[in-house]
Copies of this chain bind each other. A is one copy, B any other.
Amino acid sequence: MELEDILRERDFRLTRPRRVVWEVLSESERHLSAAEIAEEVHRRDPGINVSSVYRTLALLAELDLVRESRLTETSTWEPAHADAVIHLVCENCGATRHHDAALVEDLRAEIARTADFAPSVIDVRVSGTCAKCPAPSTPR
């Protein structure tokens, strides 16, 4: 379903700021901070204000079209993806990757069974060192 349809379905309008923010997010293959999004949006249309970027991100998140992550210092945004997500964050270079793992579903089952808790979304964040980076010389 298209962005426009999703919006219209809920009586929201497809405006230029919304289209551009969505394009920027869709075209990026990595997480972007609000500042980066605002910058790129502004590059594409200097007339679009930062506050519209924030308002759009909030709206798209509400519609489950984008997802906010707080993996690092600043929070970042990306198009929403399947429920179980593993984020691999390199402590050295900061790169963030996704990783599929069937085990997450096992985890969900275990929690549902043992924790008196009904899981909906599971987020896994793994800090570590990626292949490109040297192993930490002084492991803490």
Please report A residues at the B interface, Cβ cutoff 8 Å: 64, 70-71, 75, 86, 88, 90-91, 97, 99, 101, 103-104, 106-108, 110-111, 114-131, 135, 139-140
Contact = CB atoms under 8 A, between A and B. Distances in A.
Given A64-B140, A125-B125, A110 B120 contact: no
A107 B116 contact: no
A73 B132 CA distance: 32
A99 B111 CA distance: 8
Given A116-B130, A118-B135, A123-B125, 6 more contacts: A103-B107, A108-B126, A116-B131, A119-B127, A121-B128, A122-B127
A130 B124 CA distance: 19
Contact of A111 (B114, B117, B126, B140): B126
Given A75-B70, A122-B126, A124-B124, A107 B117 contact: no
Nearest to A101: B110
A130 B101 contact: no
28 contacts: A70-B75, A86-B111, A88-B115, A88-B117, A97-B115, A99-B111, A99-B114, A101-B107, A101-B110, A103-B106, A103-B107, A103-B110, A104-B107, A108-B126, A111-B128, A116-B130, A117-B128, A117-B129, A118-B129, A118-B135, A119-B126, A119-B128, A120-B127, A120-B139, A122-B125, A123-B125, A123-B127, A124-B125
